[in-house]
């Protein structure tokens, strides 16, 4: 048997400990999303918590862990009469792998037997196994969106529904949901973030003494797991007992109306969308009061709950960092506070918890591994343009040197802020792909509209009933069928062919040379790349960023699902030097070659942003030939009354369409054509070339 690392032995991480305990006390809180850098004991502490949960009584032989005292009336293994034998077992810890299928998550119906034999056979999935326990999803941000939807729906409803054509199964699925993720690998959609009750940001301590203690305990555990666990047995037993008592107390905790109004005022003050935040904060405050041994919710409980339930609900776009201004929180709480007449001075807002030695830390404080250190969340009202490069207050007609730029330290280099992002025109990869589900290009996907039918290759997953019936109909007389209905054989079965959208790899190749800094072009280029990054986020793409300037090209951002990382790299991108266009194209070809080996099914979209002037390095003909055939677009940044059309020449070499920078916005091309209709085109005779290219 594998020995789990003791929960009480984890150093720091006070907010994470509290969030997990509140969910253990009251499943109504809605789960925990743990965001943090790698190597911060996220998985260790989740597995340690499962060992602290009280054991559960289950009906013997029931695959769905029904409670003998209150069995699920719709249990597929039921009905249970209450007279069955019961047994006690530890609360389950079920881990959902990133590559799990829908059938593995919710369970599988044997459609072949249902159609050919009329038998409803159901194989439970991981949601059934996690009932009355913990469901742990590591790297939850890498799960397919439809799986996250199913997972969160089940967590919210406490029920799993499995629907396959005309066959359906329902069973109870109440569990403590814990998801962990590294933000560098991509974010969850805001609507999915909102479905997690609480969220915690974790980072490794910067205190040398605390880091040394973490390593010391881990080495001791690895050397003798059983002995290390034995040394912490008393603390673990006390913690488990306290969780059990809090669970028994939570139903009796009263939420006074003044505290409910305080919760509503805080959620409204932080302008969170919807009312889920109010409900989660209320449930978390009740659980916190039960954990601290109180029977009435106090302002301290509301504050502790709000710190964990609101930060991830305040994001307005993918470039916003989650966070909460605690000064604003305290101000809202004080402005809508009123003393409760029945407050117990020994357990009031400033009173200690009933069992200090086992308390994970004073609420409202932040451990060294918490979220509010030097790299913590951005305060409310602070400048949110660190990533977006908000140009408010600038004179757009001022010379480039008057804009928000800073010297990078290298001669001739400057960092220029980006303009505001905007909605860009959609770009697609032609053809039909088979990559991960997304929203950009056409693809064969498990979830999408049905476009045809085919013979199943292996087990039947998505039956196409009309095609199956058509295949069986001509043979009914041969099979001796004379009455109503059809006799269906295995050879008649057909499965659906579905078409949806896939996510692509969008690789940006950005010209950061000195020529791009003229006439404020780099500001607009950065705004364009930010806009394309936002579009990639919405379409579930991976993104990569290559820049070229001086004498070489640099892979600034290796392909990743994190558009936030791309925006941060773009913000810091310096401009200056010559233009090694060929080096940028060579680096792009190499990155795409490596990515094809890593993920052959993900099709690339190359976005080259340049004015086409190559003033350093070799000729572009060779590198461009290596990229010929790759779907892409060239964004022409050339401006001014005299235009050489070099970006158009590059687009022709790549076999890609070209679009002017000022026509990149959705509707921009139509407006540009309308503006130029009846007037002279750009010098060099390229006006009609643009209209053909895009």
DSSP letters spanning 227-267: HHHHHTHHHHHHHHHHHHHHHHHHTT-B--HHHHHHHHHHH
Nearest to 255 by CA among 302, 221, 292: 302
303 given a catalytic annotation: no
Identify the sign of the CA torsion 95, 97, 101, 104. negative
Task: Count H helices and E strands in the chain, helices first.
Answer: 23, 22
Name beta bridge partners: 444: 499
Nearest to 512 by CA among 556, 450, 475: 556
C-alpha to C-alpha distance for 641 and 367, rounded to whole angstroms: 59
What is the β-pairing status of strands 604-610 and 632-636? parallel
In b/e form, how buried is each residue of 583-608, taking b as 16+ CB within 10 angstroms? bbbbbbbebbeebeeeeeebbbbbbb
Alpha helices in 55-205 (DSSP H): 102-106, 111-116, 126-129, 145-157, 190-193
C-alpha to C-alpha distance for 172 and 369, rounded to whole angstroms: 36
Is residue 439 classed as helix, strand or coil in its secondary structure? strand
C-alpha to C-alpha distance for 146 and 20, rounded to whole angstroms: 25
* Residue 648 near residue 408, CB atoms below 8 Å: no
- What tokens does 575 get? 């401009």
Nearest to 421 by CA among 503, 519, 514, 537: 537
* Residue 418 near residue 527, CB atoms below 8 Å: yes
Using alpha carbons only, give the angle 661, 664, 665 rounded to the nearest 5 degrees.
Answer: 130
What is the β-pairing status of strands 93-95 and 86-89? unpaired
Among residues 276, 494, 587, 643, the one annotated as catalytic is 276
If you search the block for the tokens 């709000």, which residue do you land on?
Answer: 306
C-alpha to C-alpha distance for 305 and 19, rounded to whole angstroms: 9
Considering just the CA atoms, what is the radius of gyration of the chain in Å? Answer: 30
What is the β-pairing status of strands 437-454 and 495-502? antiparallel
User: Could you give the residue numbers annotated as active site?
Assistant: 276
């Amino acid at each position: 048997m594998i020995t789990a690392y003791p929960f009480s032995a984890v150093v720091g991480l006070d907010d994470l400990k509290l969030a997990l305990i509140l969910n253990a006390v009251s499943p109504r809180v809605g789960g925990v999303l743990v965001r943090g850098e790698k190597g911060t004991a996220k998985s260790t502490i989740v597995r340690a918590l499962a060992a602290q949960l009280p054991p559960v009584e289950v009906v013997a032989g029931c695959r769905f862990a029904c409670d003998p005292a209150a069995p699920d009336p719709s249990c597929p293994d039921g009905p249970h009469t209450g007279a069955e034998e019961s047994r006690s077992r530890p609360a389950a810890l079920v881990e959902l792998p990133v590559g799990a299928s829908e059938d593995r998550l919710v369970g599988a119906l044997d459609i072949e037997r249902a159609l050919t034999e009329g038998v409803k056979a159901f194989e439970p999935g991981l949601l059934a196994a996690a009932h009355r326990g913990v469901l742990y999803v590591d790297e939850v941000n890498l799960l397919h969106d439809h799986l996250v939807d199913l997972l969160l729906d089940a967590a919210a409803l406490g029920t799993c529904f499995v629907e396959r054509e005309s066959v359906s199964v329902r069973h109870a699925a109440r569990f403590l949901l814990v998801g962990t993720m590294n933000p560098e690998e991509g974010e969850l959609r805001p609507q999915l973030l909102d479905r997690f009750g609480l969220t915690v940001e974790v980072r490794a301590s910067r205190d040398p003494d605390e880091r040394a203690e973490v390593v010391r305990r881990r080495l001791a555990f690895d050397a003798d797991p059983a002995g290390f666990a034995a040394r912490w047995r008393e603390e673990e037993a006390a913690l488990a007992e306290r969780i059990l008592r809090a669970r028994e107390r939570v139903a009796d905790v009263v939420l006074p109306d003044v505290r409910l109004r305080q919760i509503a005022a805080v959620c409204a003050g932080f302008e969170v969308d919807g009312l889920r935040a109010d409900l989660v904060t209320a449930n978390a405050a009740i659980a916190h009061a039960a954990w601290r041994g109180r029977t009435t919710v106090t302002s301290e409980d509301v504050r502790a709950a709000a710190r964990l339930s609101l930060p991830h609900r305040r994001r307005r776009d993918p470039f916003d960092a989650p966070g909460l201004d605690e000064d604003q929180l305290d101000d809202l709480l004080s402005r809508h506070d009123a003393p409760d007449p029945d407050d117990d001075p020994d357990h009031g807002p400033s009173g200690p918890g009933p069992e200090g030695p086992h308390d994970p830390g004073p609420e409202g404080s932040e451990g060294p591994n918490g979220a509010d250190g030097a790299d913590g969340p951005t305060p409310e009202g602070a400048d949110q343009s660190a990533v977006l490069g908000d140009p408010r207050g600038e004179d757009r007609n001022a010379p480039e040197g008057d804009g928000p730029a800073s010297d990078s330290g290298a001669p001739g280099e400057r960092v220029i802020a980006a303009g505001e992002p905007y909605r860009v025109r959609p770009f697609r990869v032609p053809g039909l792909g088979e990559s991960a589900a997304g929203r950009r290009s056409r693809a064969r996907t498990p979830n999408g509209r049905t476009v045809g039918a085919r013979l199943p290759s292996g087990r039947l997953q998505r039956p196409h009933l009309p095609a199956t019936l058509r295949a069986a109909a001509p043979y009914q007389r041969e099979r001796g069928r004379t009455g109503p209905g059809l006799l269906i054989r295995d050879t008649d079965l057909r499965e659906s062919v579905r078409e949806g959208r896939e996510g692509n790899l969008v690789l940006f190749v950005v010209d950061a040379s000195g020529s791009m800094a003229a006439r404020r072009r780099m500001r607009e280029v950065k705004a364009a790349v930010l806009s394309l990054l936002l579009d990639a986020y919405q379409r579930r793409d991976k993104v990569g960023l290559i820049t070229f300037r001086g004498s070489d090209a640099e892979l600034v951002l290796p392909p990743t699902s994190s558009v936030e990382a791309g925006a941060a790299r773009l913000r810091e991108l310096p401009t200056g030097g010559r233009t090694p266009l060929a080096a940028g194209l060579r680096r792009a070809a190499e990155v795409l070659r490596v990515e094809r080996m890593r993920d052959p099914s993900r099709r690339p979209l190359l976005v080259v942003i340049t004015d086409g002037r190559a003033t350093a390095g070799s000729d572009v003909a060779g590198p461009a030939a290596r990229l010929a055939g790759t779907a892409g677009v060239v964004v022409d940044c050339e401006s001014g009354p005299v235009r050489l059309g070099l970006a158009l020449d590059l687009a022709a070499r790549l076999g890609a369409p070209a679009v002017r920078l000022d026509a990149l916005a959705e509707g921009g091309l139509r407006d540009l054509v309308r503006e130029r209709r009846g007037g002279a085109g750009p010098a060099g005779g390229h006006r009609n070339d643009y209209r053909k290219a895009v």
